[in-house]
């Protein structure tokens, strides 16, 4: 039988039943407390009772904080995700009780983020992050939440923002030449190495001397984005670049913030517009395919698991194929 106790003007119900942990809930009115107790006990008898007391005593901000401290810090993209979480914790939605969180709150958040100037894809990242945290609380932390997630009721606009930017030969030369004037002396070589190898910035700066075999012309990129190591071939030019840095455990001891700042200056100087450092990876993948390497070989170098993943970094334009088309037609005419 449920027991009720009045304390400081409120009624606390305690239910202790076999096969269930003790359940406690507080009400202002005795009538409401009694009604809930009867319904809860009836649901327990039918094995249908769900204890939402933990969720009822938790606001969204508490989930965000826990996720940041327990899971975000373990991720490679911890810095960016921590920034997103901190922004969300400053928003009004963070103060909403988990049992009261509705799709309307999420739509309001979407509107507010858009009005702050965030791009549609960035807004989707924020809402998707909240959805992941909701599911983590439910599946991993064992917090009883409503069966229907409020995020499942939110429809987000489809975003078409795939990048198509690659450097022309002239732009690449201009970019490298402009980098010669940078106070970051290694910037020209970092740009060249990324352009040749399709390696990410983090993979380049973490590359250790002990992981390069100059005899076999290979390098092991450790702890990559997907958590796996991968071995890549090094072209002669890549070997020459690394040999110019004979000291230290790593070849390029470069801080990302410093490189980003210098890379922005160099882009302006070279008049290379709408281009990011990460686009150098796409340039490498595109050039490899245009030079006759097959998809499997390029994927082995870039680390992409599927063609759909690699395709995002393959930015072949119609103008790049004119010479190949003419060559193919010439071969047909000779047959």
For 205-228, write each residue's pLDDT tens digit: 999 999 999 999 999 998 888 778
- Region 180-197: mean pLDDT is 95
Residue 335: predicted pLDDT: 62
First to last CA, the chain: 93
pLDDT tops 90 at residue 93: yes
Residue 195: predicted pLDDT: 95
| Out of 2-6, 149-153, 222-226, least confident range | 2-6
Q: How confident is the model at residue 161 (pLDDT cuts 50, 70, 90)?
A: low
Contact 232, 219 (CB under 8 A): yes
- Region 65-75: mean pLDDT is 92
pLDDT tops 80 at residue 258: yes
pLDDT tops 80 at residue 109: yes
- Region 262-281: mean pLDDT is 93
- Cβ atoms within 10 Å of 304's Cβ, excluding its own: 20
Which of 132-136, 227-231, 290-294 holds the top average pLDDT?
Answer: 132-136
Q: Tell me the C-alpha distance between 259 and 254, whole Å.
A: 7
pLDDT tops 80 at residue 307: no
pLDDT tops 80 at residue 287: yes
* Tens of pLDDT, residues 6-26: 777 788 777 777 766 676 677
* Cα torsion through 264, 270, 274, 275, rounded to 10: -70
Mean pLDDT computed over every residue of the chain: 86
pLDDT tops 70 at residue 229: yes
Q: How confident is the model at residue 319 (pLDDT cuts 50, 70, 90)?
A: low
- Region 105-129: mean pLDDT is 91
Residue 223: predicted pLDDT: 80
Q: Tell me the C-alpha distance between 232 and 217, whole Å.
A: 9
- Cβ atoms within 10 Å of 164's Cβ, excluding its own: 10
Residue 214: predicted pLDDT: 94
pTM (predicted TM-score):
0.67
Counting residues of the chain whose pLDDT is more than 90, the rounded percentage is 50
Counting residues of the chain whose pLDDT is more than 70, the rounded percentage is 86
pLDDT tops 70 at residue 35: yes
Which of 4-13, 41-50, 161-170, 239-248 holds the top average pLDDT?
Answer: 239-248
What is 169-323's CATH topology? hpI Integrase; Chain A (1.10.443)
Which of 46-50, 220-224, 270-274 holds the top average pLDDT?
Answer: 270-274
* Domain edges within the chain: 3-51, 60-153, 169-323
Q: Tell me the C-alpha distance between 200 and 213, whole Å.
A: 19
């Amino acid at each position: 039988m449920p027991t009720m106790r009045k304390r400081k003007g409120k009624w606390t119900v305690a239910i202790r039943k076999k096969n269930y942990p003790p359940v406690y809930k507080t009400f202002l009115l005795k009538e409401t407390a009694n009604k809930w107790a009867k319904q809860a006990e009836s649901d327990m008898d039918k094995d249908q009772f769900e204890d939402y007391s933990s969720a009822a005593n938790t606001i969204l901000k508490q989930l965000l904080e826990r996720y940041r401290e327990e899971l975000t810090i373990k991720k490679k993209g911890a810095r960016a995700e921590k920034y997103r979480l901190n922004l969300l914790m400053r928003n009004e939605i963070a103060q909403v009780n988990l049992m009261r969180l509705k799709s309307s709150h999420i739509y309001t958040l979407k509107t507010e983020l858009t009005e702050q100037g965030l791009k549609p894809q960035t807004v989707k990242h924020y809402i998707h992050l909240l959805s992941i945290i909701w599911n983590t609380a439910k599946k991993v932390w064992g917090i009883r939440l409503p069966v229907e997630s409020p995020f499942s009721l939110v429809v987000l606009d489809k975003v078409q923002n795939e990048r198509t930017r690659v450097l022309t030969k002239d732009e690449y030369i201009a970019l490298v030449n402009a980098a010669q004037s940078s106070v970051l002396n290694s910037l020209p070589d970092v740009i060249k190495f990324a352009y040749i190898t399709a390696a990410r910035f983090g993979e380049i700066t973490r590359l250790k001397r002990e992981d390069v075999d100059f005899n076999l012309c290979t390098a092991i990129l450790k702890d990559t984005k997907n958590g796996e190591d991968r071995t890549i071939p090094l072209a002669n030019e890549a070997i020459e670049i690394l040999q110019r840095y004979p000291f230290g455990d790593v070849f390029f001891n470069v801080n990302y913030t410093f490189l980003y700042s210098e890379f922005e200056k160099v882009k302006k100087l070279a008049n290379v517009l709408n281009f990011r450092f990460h686009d150098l990876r796409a340039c490498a993948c595109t050039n490899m395919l245009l030079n006759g390497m097959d998809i499997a070989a390029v994927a082995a170098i870039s680390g992409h698991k599927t063609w759909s993943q690699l395709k995002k970094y393959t930015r072949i334009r119609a103008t790049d194929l004119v010479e190949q088309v003419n060559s193919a037609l010439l071969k047909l005419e000779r047959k």
